[in-house]
Amino acid sequence: MFVEVIIPLALPKNYTWSVPPHLLDAVQPGVRVEVVLGRNKKYAGIVKRVLPSKPESFQPKDILNVLDPEPLLYTSQLQLWEWVADYYMCSEGEVMQAAVPANLKLSSESVLIWNEAAGYAPSDLSDAEYLVTEALELKKELRLSEVQQLLDAAVVYPVIKKLIEKNICYVWEELKQKYKVKTETYISLAAAYRNEDQLADLLNNWSRAPKQMELLLAYLHLVKTAGEVTKAELLKKSGASDAQLKGLLEKNILVAEKRAIDRISPLPRNIAIDFTLSPAQEKALAAIRETLEHKQVTLLHGVTASGKTQIYIKLIEEQIMQGKQVLYLLPEIALTAQTIRRLQKHFGGYIAIYHSKFNPNERVEIWNKVKSGDIKVVLGARSALFLPFRELGMIITDEEHDASYKQQEPAPRYHARDTAIYYASLFGAKVLLGSATPSVESYFNCMQDKYGLVTLAERFGDAGLPAIELIDIKKYPAKPKPVFTPPLIDAIQASLDAKKQVIIFQNRRGYAPYQVCDTCGWIPQCRDCDVTLTYHKTRNQLVCHYCGTIYPVIQTCLACGNHHFTQKNFGTEQVEELLGETFPEARTARMDYDSVKGKHDHDALIKLFEQQRIDLLVGTQMVVKGLDFEHVNLVCIVDADGILNFTDFRVNERAFQLMEQVSGRAGRKDDEGKVLIQVSNLQHPVLQFVKDHRYAELFEFELHNRKAFDYPPYTRLIRLVFKHREKHIAEEAAHIMAQGLKTHFGKYLSGPAQPVVDRIRNQYLWEILLKLPKDSRFIHQCKKEIHQQTVIIQSNKRYRAVVIQPDADPV
């Protein structure tokens, strides 16, 4: 018998191994098997299917072992992997990398074993070699990682190579399972004393060891109230010592037992729905149920604070009642303690949280519990899609428009929203997309009647939509360009006086986005990217916001040698600084990629703001995600031009989403929410829509524009960057690509899309490649990238790059 195995590597296809007779009964699709690939590398792969006949073109090797008594996942997951690999142009092994928690992907770890038999002469060894030899003689074996701690990382491999040559040690390859069950010791009464008489007998005839008796009594008391007693709990509650317990254990009065416990804190498994829906919500819920009767996917377009989550909760409850599982997807950033608490309150022990930053042991536990059907609801980021659901009833994709649903690096470059739709179809499950600002592609699918559409236009409770006011920046002195206009300052002051909070939105990090040489107008740019360098005052550095490269502050103009630069425009750092100067008595904080490095910083800052220990919060788009601030009554968009003034109309959708999301932060509880937008082009179409929260019309506008440009409605962003030392080559490449895209996107508008687009893209890429100079490294890289959804091509530092970034396509 033979098996096709998925190995967690980017192999061009799956390989086949043969099964020795004694393992025949153990193999089945979904189990892990230990196999040798290449010379002596061992991997734990997953059996995709069992093949009856021997392959012809090669001689398969035997599998070494079967690692699982039962499959790790169901066939629906294997189907999903196959689809993702095909659709997003990667190998199934790469999908496996993303899907399976590290602790289930056994790691091959090389261990150096001390060769007892061989002697050595210290004079023959270099310092580094001697160091390792000594350690080996002492410990008999060393892991490679330990050697690395011992030596300078750069010389590890050469030194080991030498030692092996000198026969001082050898390498042992072994597969190790890292996942360990966490156990806890439980204490219980020995069987002999389980009945009342015997226990009374024991207590009445107690002699000596009064301390032990104390502990025993404490145990008896505890067991009455708690039911089960752990060792740690008992010792803590009774204040007893280990010795006392040991005595009782030795006398066989109490017994200790180690039990595996769950890492996930056990919550009662009940559902507590303690709210009622508003009439508008009830109506939306009924509409969702109805559309889902005959459509697989429905989009819930609900303005911010319209209470979408409560509708989700009702739907989740229904699914649990039917014994089905639910996957609730959120963008990673929105997975805050706040959201989690909210869901946990209603679903207690039925729910699990899952995202890639979880510790590996917890991930394995959730994996197993989802597989067994123990967990009914998973609240997770995109990686939660790969959990082995058993009976999936529904997938909810909240904040459906969020770009972070698309994985960019590494492969598989999948879009969680679209993958979710496919995954759900395998179960016959329903999908609910939710957003206050749906993506154009989802909206388009509604218009095409492919998805159902339910709109929830009013905010929950008495809250109204915030009033949006435009401030004409041209009315105020042009230089220096004002960061805060007088009306804005007044409004902030009014909020401060009313003890309210303000969010100031500026979608640019750093202090100054670029700087200009006063004499010749030269602007410092990144060496590798076509991007100006942003000055960061706190770090006193120049940073490329595209690739992240850091440069020292430039004192001398590289073009003319002069020393005077002018800082142009402003970023969050400068806004924060100016706020401090303008409102010295207010408490100000900044929230952007630089100020919140870890996840904890983010949570901590949110907490501070929630508790009203911050009055003014400056931030980039980070402030628009996953926050529910009750005391905010003013949101300021300081520099709307910075979001709107692109020649590329395709940015409109993004600009609208940003503004709409920002304005959604204002005035959630009371009616006084206000949004101030400082802008120079008051006539900008996006602003007209934003002003009245008219999403549908913006969409019509977008669609119309895109049609006029032969541009497909549901490919949101295609960016082409061509660079070449020789300008005409770059231009030619750009031209060919643009032509190709234009000719074929007409067809794309009316037909099933993605495969076509991929073929076209590849075809034209090849054409470009043929015209470019024969640079083997460049061509090779291109070939490699062509197999990926996102094409990023570059060749070293001096590069020509083709960046094509198509968004994922609805299924």
Partner DNA sequence: AGCACGCCGACT
Partner DNA sequence: GTCGGCGTGCTC
Site for DNA, rule CB under 7 A = 9-12, 15-18, 35-39, 41, 55, 58, 60-61, 776-777, 780
* 4: its two tokens: 């096709």
> Tokens at residue 581, please?
């100067």
Contact 35, 64 (CB under 8 A): yes
Q: Residue 223: which H helix or E strand, with range?
A: helix 210-226
Across 557-706, where does the E strand assignment appear?
565-568, 588-591, 616-619, 632-637, 674-679
Helix or strand run (H / E) with residue 535:
strand 533-536
Identify which of residues 129 and 592 has a Cβ nearer to DNA in the complex: 129
Contact 424, 296 (CB under 8 A): yes
Which residue number, 16 or 115, has a Cβ lying nearer to DNA?
Answer: 16
Annotation: binding site for Zn(2+): 517, 520, 526, 529, 544, 547, 557, 560
Q: For the beta carbon of residue 407, count every other beta carbon within 10 angstroms.
A: 20
Closest approach of DNA to the CB of residue 772, in Å: 14
Report residue 469 as tokens: 């006011």
How are beta strands 351-354 and 377-380 bridged, if at all?
A: parallel
Nearest approach in angstroms of CB 37 to DNA is: 4
Nearest to 621 by CA among 714, 509, 723: 509
Nearest approach, Cβ of 774 to DNA (angstroms)? 10
Query: Residue holding tokens 């005052």?
Result: 537
| Shortest separation between residue 626's beta carbon and DNA, angstroms | 33
The amino acid at 552: P
Question: Which residues face 467 on adjacent strands?
Answer: 674
**Closest Cα partner for 506 from 594, 591, 613, 401?**
591
Would you say 94 or 702 has its CB closer to DNA?
Answer: 94
Nearer to DNA, 81 or 405 (CB): 81
Nearer to DNA, 97 or 281 (CB): 97
Q: How far is the CB of 794 from DNA (least distance, A)?
A: 13
| Minimum distance of DNA from residue 8's CB (angstroms) | 8
Rounded CA separation 783/675 (Å): 49
Nearer Cβ to DNA (39/479): 39
Residues 6+ apart with CB under 8 A from 440: 653, 699, 702, 703, 713, 714, 716
CB of 776 to DNA, least distance (A): 4
The residue among 81 and 535 lying less far from DNA, judged by its C-beta, is 81
Which tokens hold the place of 481?
């360009």
278 vs 788, beta carbon nearer DNA = 788
Judged by DSSP in three states, 572 sits in helix
Q: Give the helix/strand (H/E) hosting 174.
A: strand 169-176
Q: How far is the CB of 58 from DNA (least distance, A)?
A: 5
The Cα diameter of the chain in Å comes to: 102
Measured CA to CA, the distance from residue 412 to residue 404 in angstroms comes to: 14
Q: Please, are residues 348 and 269 in contact by the beta-carbon 8 Å criterion?
A: yes
Question: How large is the C-alpha radius of gyration of the chain?
Answer: 32
Between 36 and 531, CB nearer to DNA: 36
Q: Which residues are part of a known binding site?
A: 517, 520, 526, 529, 544, 547, 557, 560
Task: Please write down the HEC assignment for all residues of 185-211.
Answer: EEEEECHHHCCHHHHHHHHHCCCCCHH
Long-range contact pairs involving 142-145 (C-beta distance under 8 Å, separation at least 24): 142/111, 142/112, 143/109, 143/110, 143/111, 143/112, 144/109, 144/110, 144/111, 144/112
Buried b (16+ CB within 10 A) or exposed e, 623-660: bbbbbbbebbbbbbbbbbbbbbeeeebbbbbbbbbbbb
Shortest distance in whole angstroms from residue 7 CB to DNA: 9
Contacts of residue 366, defined as CB under 8 A and 6 or more positions apart, other chains included, come to 264, 352, 354, 358, 375, 378, 387
Q: What is the DSSP letter of 117?
A: T
Unique residue bearing structure tokens 């996840």? 599
Q: Which is nearer to DNA, 15 or 745 (CB)?
A: 15
Q: Which is nearer to DNA, 18 or 493 (CB)?
A: 18
Nearest to 417 by CA among 442, 453, 452: 442
Residue 150 CA to chain centroid, in angstroms? 35
The DSSP bridge pattern shows strands 2-6 and 15-18 to be antiparallel
* Residue with token string 């014994």: 323
Bridge partners of 187?
229, 256
61 or 475: CB nearest DNA: 61
CB atoms within 10 A of CB 766: 13
Name which of 356, 427, 443, 350 is nearest 395 in CA terms. 427
If the CB atoms of residues 108 and 493 are measured against DNA, the closer one turns out to be 108
Nearest CA among 562, 602, 581, 344 for reference residue 484: 581
Task: Name which of 144 and 489 has its Cβ closer to DNA.
Answer: 144
Cα four-point dihedral sign 445, 448, 452, 458:
positive
Whose Cβ is closer to DNA: residue 11's or residue 756's? 11
